[in-house]
Amino acid sequence: MICTAAELAKYLGAELEGDPSSAVSGVASPERARAEDLIYVDSPRNQTRVAASAARCVVAHPRVRIEGKTILGVNDPKLAFAKATAWLLKEPPLPGAVHPTAIVSASARLAADVWVGPYVVLEDDVAIGTGTVVEAFCFLGRGTRIGEGCRLHPRVTLYAGARLGDRVEVHAGVVVGGDGFGYVLPDRSLLLFGHTNNAAVVWVRPSGGFRARYTFGLKYDSFVVDAAIPLSGTEFVTARYSGSPNPSDRGLVISWLSLKTFP
């Protein structure tokens, strides 16, 4: 993506000092930057490195001035640089298409612009919303529901009945809806404790915030839980996630997810 310093300043809510027409097309460290790369400085000890850089545009604190540089003044330069990176390097949308090697059930329902990659398997009654990308070797079990604007990286598995909301990104190799990590140990034997494979549900509010909260008096001894999303009085989705409060950004990024049912 190529934009001007003025456009980037507007996106970041930054104070612009310098050439508003300066082009920005990438990001880099000061030493590796080209003229159109964006760099940042958040400490006075690094200003010498920035001054010597080929980059013309710099994210810095509002009162910083560096000769020959266009400054985007913000209170938190590192955070603004991270936001700018995501914006500038955003992957272009893929055109709607189904790879000829994909196996798609006749009863699967795909929005017109869904992209399905090589060797993907979509079982019966799968439904996928507009703008979603399903990359190579993913498996979506029968009755799976995926919302709009999602991205499933390679080799993601969604068990039968699993559900994802809008703008959810699931990284490579994640299994949604599989057995969790809770076990009961009666008489030295090992018994799987109350897991189910149907309906792992994740969703976000229209504002971009998460409809999620910490567990209610539930204790997990075998693994760390970042948050639990209540589905009913006895069902909770546990997930480790990251996300953005900006509704134009990705809504949810899952590194692992499991549905647990408690009696």
Structural class in CATH, domain 97-261: mainly beta
Please tell me which residue, 52 or 198, carries the higher pLDDT value. Answer: 52
Give residue 179's pLDDT band: very low, low, confident or very high (50, 70, 90). Answer: low
Question: For the whole model, what pTM was predicted?
Answer: 0.59
What average pLDDT does range 205-224 have in this prediction?
30
Tokens of 24: 């920005």
The CA distance from 25 to 22, in Å, is: 10
Q: Which part of the chain has CATH 2.160.10.10?
A: 97-261
**Count H helices, E strands: the chain?**
3, 27
Tens of pLDDT along 75-127? 999 999 989 998 898 777 788 999 999 999 999 999 999 999 999 999 999 99
Place of tokens 């400490």: 43
The CA distance from 192 to 184, in Å, is: 6
Q: What is the fold of 3-88? A: 3.40.1390
pLDDT at 215 over 90: no
